[in-house]
Chain A
Amino acid sequence: MYQLNWQWFHRLGSPRWFYEKTSRWSPWIGAIALLTIVIGVVWGLGFAPTDSKQGNSYRVIFIHVPAAFLALAGYYVMAIAGAVGLIWRMKLSFMVMKSAAPIGAVLTFVTLVTGAIWGKPTWGTWWVWDARITSMLILFFLYLGVIALQGAYQSRDLSNKSSAILSLVGMINIPIIYKSVDWWFTLHQPATLKLMGPSSIDPSMAYPLLIMIFGFYCLYAWLLMAWTRLEILNQEQKANWVKELLLEGRIKSDLKNA
């Protein structure tokens, strides 16, 4: 009577269950991501008004800010997945952690490069060693560190544990990134969108930005599913359900030929 029903939790940890569920979800999430990003890009590039101070260069914001949002959110995903893997020894959780690293690294790279491209016409320089940009660069190295640790050991268990610990230790960087524009004098403009209080952006620019952020969240979810699904296939190659699933086409055609 006092036993909690933990069945859902164990099912969640089953790679097969995850693979089958995401087979159904991921086309929808992918379609929503594509649709919202196309709308956001067209709106942001062509229809949002030109900024009175920055001119057209500000249109980089529709890429730069969503990528930065997901670079940070992706780090939470990676670190939490690592923690769940460490605590409950959940294999799937480590797979999610491993998959989050390259996606996060690419998004951080996009944030840094689009920031540099935006900086040139706006600040007159590609790069400054200020707090926001330097802490983002550290985030990039943390992602690269996790990718490197995944390949550093012969034992998968050891790779997973050390990656998870690095992700968790690196969490200290996240509040520093958020607060860096307030704590230190910097060229970087303060946050455009605020959860509390009025945003410093006009609605005509905020709508396409919010659409792009939503689109990037969906894109991130889709990418994380795709990479985790691949990791499942890779690690479970010997499992019967994987063989049946992947060789299904072949078995069917064999039957036809027979």
Chain B
Amino acid sequence: MQFQFENILDFIQMSGHGPYVWASYVLTFAVIGILIYIPYKLKRQIVAQLRRKQKLENSDY
């Protein structure tokens, strides 16, 4: 097994197909990144909300 390209520029250009290949990979990992980020962000929101509620309950009496 060996690296298929002459140099880094060749790797980026991929004899003209570079833009298509790189666009596919970048787009895919960008949208998967969003899928990872959403539950992380929403969990923080739920925790913050619960904490606010608890504060209210504690200060009630």
A46 touches B4 (CB 8 A): yes
Prevailing SS type, chain B contact patch = helix
**A163-187, CB under 8 A of B: which get 1 and which 0?**
0000000000000000000000000
Interface residues in A, total, Cβ within 8 A: 41
CB proximity of A32 to chain B, nearest CB, Å:
15
Stretch at the interface among A80-88, A89-97, A139-147, A221-229: A221-229
The size bracket of the interface on B is 20 to 34
With A47-B2, A64-B24 known as contacts, the answer to whether A56 contacts B17 (CB < 8 A) is yes
A residues near B, CB below 8 A?
41, 45-50, 55-57, 59-60, 63-64, 67, 102-103, 106, 109-110, 113-114, 117-118, 120-121, 204, 219, 223, 226-227, 229-230, 233-234, 237, 242-243, 246-247, 250
B residues near A, CB below 8 A?
1-5, 11, 14-18, 20-21, 23-25, 27-28, 31-32, 34-36, 38-40, 42-43, 46-47, 49-51, 54
B54 touches A247 (CB 8 A): yes
Residues of chain B within 8 A of A204, CB atoms compared: 1
